[in-house]
Chain A
Amino acid sequence: MTDKVDITLAVNGRDYDIRVEPRRTLADTLRDDCGLTGTHLGCEHGVCGACTVIVDGAPVRSCLMFAVQAEGKAVRTVEGLANGDTLHPLQQAFMDHHGLQCGFCTPGFLMLATGVLEREPDISDEDLVDVLSSNLCRCTGYQNIIKAVRAAAAEMRAK
């Protein structure tokens, strides 16, 4: 179990040549081997969604995927969301609408919403709540998260 394997992970457009145990989760690998600690672990059993990242365009729980499974795929994390100094519309909307308090679940929500809005820009309000119920937040009561994602969706559509 502890024999390590060499893999190359493509994260946010950059290649990371790393050596990991096959059992190592993508979440642990991103955090500890790539130094990308923006991805957070809230439960490690796939319920809370704090560790959500985008793999080949789809939001996934990085605590339920092994790093070796992500080799050859394009991984995106919260660190890759902004374009230099310009925040992604979702990041800006979360700030404008007070969609975060402690901020621990925020990267997961941002990546979940990014993945969904990129695939389905015209998603209905109802379906959006359905999707956002994949992740847990303990601070905001969700109202402002929903407001923020709706605002960002409108802005992304307008562009």
Chain B
Amino acid sequence: MTDAPVHLADGRWVGRSLRRVEDPALVRGQGRFTADLKADHFVRFVRSPLASGRIVKIEAPEGARMFTAADLAAVKPIQPMLHKFNYRPIAQPILARDVVRFVGEPVAAILGRTDAEAEDFADQVELDIETLDALVTADEALGDNAPLVHDEAPRNVIVEGIVKTPDFDATWAKAAKIVRIDARSRRQNATPMEARAGHASFDPSTGRVTLTCTSQMPHLFRTTVCDALDMPESELRVIAPDVGGGFGQKMSVSPEYVMLVFLARRLRTSIAWTEDRRENLIASYHSRDQQLSLEGAFDADGKLLALSGDIVANIGAYSCFPTTCGVEPLMAMAELPGPYDFRAYACRSRGVATHTCPIAPYRGVSRPSITFVLELLMDKAACELGIDPVDIRRKNLIAAFPYTSATGLVFDEASYRETLEMAAKAIDVPAFRVRQKAARAKGKYLGLGFGTFSERTGYGTPAFAARGMGITPGWEQVEMAMDPSGFVELKIGASPHGQGLRTTLSQIVADQLGINPNRIRVVHGDTDRTPYGFGTFASRSLVIAGGASVLAARKVRVKLLQIAGHFLEAAPEDIVLEDGNAKVAGTDRTIPIRDLARAAYHGAHQFQKDFVPGLAETATYDPGGTFSNACHVAIVEVDIETGGVKIEKYLVAEDAGRIINPMIADGQIHGGVAQGIGNALYEEIVYDETGNILTSTLADFMPPTAHEIPPIELHHRETYSPATITEAKGLGEGGGIGAPAAIVNAINDALSPFGVSVAEIPATPQRIRAALRAAEQRS
């Protein structure tokens, strides 16, 4: 990519906390969500009550119309692919055929004229399933005589990665100190406030189906559903209307959507499914669920020389589409070295199948877990070597750029050390230590913890190609047209779900064209209206769709300047576009941009023969990727009697490159931190030993409320990215990546007088009390 970065003068739209164009409709209750659509029929999915079993009989109640796997002979299963020798391709059936593999797996679809009728029918289905042995944990699945979840995957390992740098053994031998951490990141659910929903409507006049659904990537939903149903993509329109949060869960194409389109075509009708919260908690996608063992080889001064890791991810019963189940374990292996400068690295990472709900991406993907374990290791090493936790990070953070990591990732400009210093200064570590000592004397246990990380964002096709995914996403395309009235329509392949992308992209485009952002309408989430794209995930939309928007705007700009040159009798390079006008620099000669737009459409005869009428342009952007970074700091108080944790202070020093809209950027960090706090302290999907879920309501699986989230102090630094056109780096996930590390390090600092620590998230009162109890029993 040879595109020069954009240099924007003061007083432009980028960098301003512009209010969101998304908001007026949403605060009036005029948002349009999938469940708001009326349908002629409603479907409920009959789901397996058993984790593992053989289907003996499924019988519908009288008067009900039901579909089972037997009706889907012509429908292909969903087949996520990874072109790696150690990946076992596991297809997911649309409805369970012969066997069930997790509680909540759809075994039948049943119809009603109303949602309530469909639900009544579903309750009356006679389902006879013969119980088979269930594997719930990765340890059970890896056991010597464990049954197989899928015959194709010996020892239940679906995907495995191994890496070892050539210098590893020699470097390891030089260590003065080996520090080990065995950590666990328990299973969670992204829990968007709007659960999944779909509405498929058959149009008899065209034979086409419109699927409106809660999707983060509508174009890929179209491709996947059409592949399964063997239909041309032109016969399916996918719309992602307002989407009530996704956080990765709405990225995967689940069988329910294939079923909806199948039913709409078969019955030539409109049909709706709105997932209830219980379904969402047991049968949508889960996340995390990793066991991580890490050993660090340090020299006597606390310099990390080499790192060795063993990662086991419980990926559930199937591989998700399109990322596959490799998304957690393989990314963990590739990005475990994080922001630290060391050359020798060895890691083994396995994705293990069990009889549990499949795992899919969730905000931060893998990095909340690996940052957690690596930062715990740093604090433990600091403690064992008698170094301050800030000092050990100072010693080890990458300082010179570009930097090529032990796994071959190239880090562009970043500010690991600078954000650490910002955070340490803002929290005032020496003052805290004085306060901590005084508090301890009174039986009050305060702790301070750091979480430093590097967050890979805005990466394009090359990064996904390196993963060997069957689908290689990465690029984004936009179509931009200025109409004859001078207003701009920007159609994007990215598909936001709450990020405010319409606002930020309009700010970027406004600066390029010298017009007010309120003259720009951003269109997304409709495969009939927008160019093919990969949607919103992995902190990519603003970086990649933003870059493509700049490229398209530059083309429109060139043409506007050409037309302006004609009317103003000046060379295009002497003309500037600002405040809605084209002006000859240094003169008072000016013409409104809307007049140029009108001329482009209605006055083509005035220009030379090769003039192409109109102002419509297309552009594609496919960057190599960049790295955001941050240092999170938490001060907590641990109640030794109850094991309860209160966050007293939370601080983030963040660097996401150029900030397009500070208000929106802060909001993304706040939200990420809140989910990270949930991840660190509260949220856990719990299975019993038979594979039944014990946390199927929001009273059991507990996202934090306003009570649990403290004020979050933000400090920004903007290291402009040389790797992206807008100089922005992604920041959607960062908040959630740093929080578990900072909070658990703070808990362990608070627990240090007792000589105990926790290395498991969520760090619940029970786990903290168990650690303290063990210490009490020892003494």
Report B771 CB to chain A, min CB distance, Å: 28
Q: How far is the CA of A40 from the CA of B706 in the complex (A)?
A: 20
Interface size on A, residues (CB 8 A): 56
Kindly state the separation between the CA atoms of A78 and B27 in the bound complex, as whole angstroms.
8
Known: A101-B667, A102-B245, A141-B709. A136 touches B698 (CB 8 A): yes
> Which chain B residues in 484-508 approach chain A with CB under 8 Å?
497-500
Q: Does B30 contact A (CB under 8 A)?
A: yes
Q: CB-CB < 8 A to A105: which residues of B?
A: 193, 244
Report if A69 contacts B (CB, 8 A): no
Contacts of A140 in B (CB 8 A): 667, 670-671, 674
A102 to B243, CA, bound (A): 7
Check A98–B242 contact: CB distance below 8 A: no
CB atoms of A138 and B31 under 8 A apart? no
| A101 partner residues in chain B, CB cutoff 8 A | 245, 498-500, 667, 671
| B19 interface contact, C-beta 8 A | yes
- Check A42–B20 contact: CB distance below 8 A: no
Question: Do A42 and B194 touch (CB < 8 A)?
Answer: yes
* Chain B positions within 8 Å of A32 at CB level: 38
Q: At the interface, yes or no: A104 with Cβ under 8 Å from chain B?
A: yes
Binary interface profile of B, 192-208, with partner A (CB < 8 Å = 1, else 0)? 11110000000000000
Contacts known (A21-B116, A44-B276, A138-B675); A95 close to B20, Cβ less than 8 A: yes
Q: List B contacts of A133 (CB < 8 A).
A: 705-708
Interchain CA distance A31-B29 in the complex, whole Å: 11
Residues in A with CB closer than 8 Å to B243 are 102
B23 at the interface (CB under 8 A from A): yes
* A98 pairs with B667, CB closer than 8 A: yes
- Does B191 belong to the interface (CB within 8 Å)? yes
Nearest CB on B from A115, distance (A): 15
- Smallest CB separation, A29 vs chain B (Å): 12
Assess the A102–B242 pair: CB atoms within 8 A. Answer: yes
The contact of B27 among A42, A94, A104, A136, by CB within 8 Å, is A94
State in angstroms the CA–CA spacing of A139 and B712 once bound together: 14
* Complex contact A143–B709 (CB within 8 A): yes
Contact assessment for A103 and B712 in the assembled complex, using a CB-CB cutoff below 8 Å? no
Given contacts A43-B277, A95-B23, A136-B703, contact A38 B245 (CB under 8 A): no
| Interface contact B28-A81, CB-CB below 8 Å | yes
A47 touches B33 (CB 8 A): no
Contact B244 A100 (CB under 8 A): no
Task: Knowing A101-B667, A103-B244, A138-B675 are in contact, say whether A79-B709 is a contact too (CB < 8 A).
Answer: no
C-alpha gap A46/B19 in the complex (Å): 32
Cβ–Cβ contact A87 & B27, under 8 A: yes
A103–B30 Cα distance when bound, in Å, is 10
**Complex: A130 Cα to B708 Cα, angstroms:** 10
CB-CB contacts of B628-643 with A at 8 A, as 1s and 0s?
0000000000000000
Contacts of B274 in A (CB 8 A): 41
A142 to B674, CA, bound (A): 8
A23 and B114 alpha carbons, distance in the complex (Å): 13
A94 contact set on B, CB distance < 8 A: 23, 27
Whether A45 and B706, one on each chain, are in contact in the complex, defined by CB atoms closer than 8 angstroms, is no
How long is the Cα–Cα vector from A143 to B22 in the complex, in angstroms?
19
By a CB distance below 8 angstroms, the chain B residues around A129 are 706-707
- Interface size on B, as a range, is 35 or more
Q: How far is the CB of B231 from chain A (nearest CB, A)?
A: 30
B664 surroundings in chain A (CB, below 8 A):
98
Q: How far is the CA of A96 from the CA of B667 in the complex (A)?
A: 12
| Contact residues, B234-258 vs A (CB, 8 A) | 242-245, 247
Q: Given A45-B699, A136-B705, verify A37-B29 contact (CB < 8 Å).
A: yes
Closest to A96 in B: B19
The answer to whether A37 and B36 touch (CB under 8 A), given A129-B706, A129-B707, A138-B245, is: yes
B27 and A106 within 8 A (CB): yes
Closest CB in chain A relative to B443 CB, distance in Å: 25
Q: Is the CB of A38 within 8 A of B670?
A: no
Instruction: Kindly state the separation between the CA atoms of A47 and B672 in the bound complex, as whole angstroms.
Output: 21
Contact A48 B698 (CB under 8 A): yes
Residues of A near B70 (CB, < 8 A) are none
Q: Is residue A36 within 8 Å, beta carbon to beta carbon, of the partner chain?
A: yes
Residues in A neighbouring B27, C-beta threshold 8 A: 78, 87, 91, 94-95, 100, 103, 106, 110
CB distance from B698 to the nearest CB of A (A): 4
Most buried by A among B29, B36, B698, B735: B29
Can you report 26 A-B residue pairs in the complex whose CB atoms are below 8 A from each other? A21-B116, A36-B29, A37-B29, A38-B28, A42-B244, A87-B27, A87-B28, A98-B666, A98-B667, A100-B27, A101-B671, A102-B498, A103-B244, A104-B31, A104-B193, A110-B27, A136-B193, A138-B191, A138-B192, A139-B671, A140-B670, A141-B671, A141-B712, A141-B735, A144-B670, A145-B706
Closest 4 A-B residue pairs measured CB to CB? A38-B29, A104-B244, A102-B498, A103-B26
Extra pairs beyond A77-B29, A95-B27 (19, CB < 8 Å)? A37-B33, A40-B193, A47-B699, A78-B28, A95-B20, A98-B20, A100-B23, A101-B500, A102-B242, A102-B497, A103-B244, A105-B244, A129-B706, A133-B705, A133-B706, A133-B708, A135-B705, A138-B703, A143-B712
